[in-house]
Every structure is written in structure tokens, then in C-alpha cells.
Homo-oligomer: A and B are copies of this chain.
């Protein structure tokens, strides 16, 4: 994960300080590089999403950018590197979302709603990335694959912890916490399958409603035989 800026295009960095403004120049070059990398990634995401990784040639990606194939090779070592970059971006997005949420506070119920809501939003806002990495998992190098597994494990673990906290506080009633965490992950992971932009619901509405459903799945149900609680 780390930095991922990886500015490849600098085989020989001649006289580093040949002019007073070489620092600015350097950073300008890096910015331009980064911009180009971004454009490549974005075109690739679009095509991989629609046609699949194997079904897309680098010539097509280059054409979509109005460039030619060697242009891509200036910035990525191989087609697989490009895929790995896409997947690692998707993971970074997801991790960001998760970290943002962990710093929040509130009741387990509030936290769960927020996590489901935000995660679904993150997945929908990076729909193509998310779909690509779940679809092309087999194409990835083992190392990158492991990153994805790790992220899923993280998510499940944190949800499990949250569910247990909720149970301890009497807010949740759940027979099998791990299965419940999988059910919740399912709602998040499956969202791109059914959500259609421009449909009946906005992303925010969809996320809100799913979050409400997730909550009602685990929230304690007070039966009529019990008195009111708290």
C-alpha cells in the first residue's frame, strides 16, 4: 500500500540542482506524471468495468486516451500492474472510509448505521473499481489478492466487535454474530449489482435505507410480553 506514487518515468535524473528552481520543476514534473497516471487509470477502469480485464487490450485503453500503447508502458510496467493499481485504489478508498468511521462515536446502533451507510456510499462512488476488484480477483498477483482478503477480514472483525458491544449493552440480539457480520458485508458488497444511477433512488437514499435494514436485522426486538426497556 504505502505511497503508491511510484514515479517510474525518471530513469536518469541528471544534474538534480542545475537551476535555482529545480525543486519546483521536479514537483511540477511529478504532478504531471501523477496526472497522466490518473488519466490512464481512469480510462482503464472504465474499460475493465465494461469489458472485463482480459477482454480489454492496452491498445484500446490508449486509444480511449488519444494515445498509443507505449505511452502506457511509460507509466506502468505491465497490464497487470495497472490492474493492481486500480485494485489498490479501491482498497485505499475503502480503508479511508473505515478509518473515518472508527473515529466517530455513539451507540453501537448509531455506529453500525454509519458504517453501513458510509461503506455503501464508498462502494457506490467507486462502483467500477469495486466491481473490477471483486470480479478480477483471480487475475491478481497473490500479494495484491492478500490485500483484498485482509481488508475483508478487517471489515468483518470490526463489525463483529461492534455487534458484540451492542449485545453487551442490550441493544442488539443476535444468534450468530459472525454470520450477521457476513450478512451486513453482503449488503455492502452486493450494492453495485442492483444499484442503478439515475434510478428511483439516489446513492444517499439507497445507503440510508440499507443501513436502516441492517440495523433492524440486529436490533433487539422487544416482545409484547416484556415491559418497556430503559
A109 CB to closest chain B CB, in angstroms?
13
Question: Within the assembled complex, what's the spacing in Å between the Cα atoms of A43 and B135?
Answer: 21
> Which of A17-25, A64-72, A99-107, A174-182 participates in binding chain B?
A174-182
> CB-CB contacts of A212-228 with B at 8 A, as 1s and 0s?
11101111011111111
Q: Check A189/B193 contact, CB under 8 A, given A138-B55, A224-B229.
A: yes
Residues of B with C-beta under 8 A to A191: 186
Distance between Cα atoms of A221 and B51 in the complex (Å): 45
Q: Which of B54, B136, B179, B210 contacts A209 (CB 8 A)?
A: B179
Cβ-defined contact, A52 with B180, below 8 A:
no
Whether A213 contacts B54 by the Cβ 8 Å rule is no
The residue that A224 contacts in the complex, of B183, B213, B216, B222, with Cβ under 8 A, is B222
Q: Are B189 and A139 in contact (CB under 8 A)?
A: no
Task: State how many copies of this chain the complex holds.
Answer: 2
Q: Do the beta carbons of B193 and A179 come within 8 Å of each other?
A: no
Report which of B180, B216, B219, B228 forms a contact with A225, defined as CB distance below 8 A: B228
> What are 18 A-to-B residue pairs whose CB atoms are below 8 Å?
A50-B138, A52-B54, A52-B136, A54-B55, A55-B138, A55-B139, A134-B193, A175-B209, A176-B209, A179-B213, A186-B193, A187-B187, A216-B216, A216-B217, A216-B221, A222-B224, A224-B227, A224-B228
Residues of chain A having any CB pair with chain B under 8 Å? 50-55, 134-136, 138-139, 175-176, 178-180, 182-183, 185-187, 189-191, 193-194, 200-201, 206, 209-210, 212-214, 216-219, 221-229
**A55-B138, A189-B193, A224-B227 provided; 12 other pairs, C-beta below 8 A?**
A52-B136, A52-B139, A135-B135, A179-B213, A183-B187, A186-B189, A186-B193, A217-B217, A222-B222, A222-B224, A224-B224, A224-B229
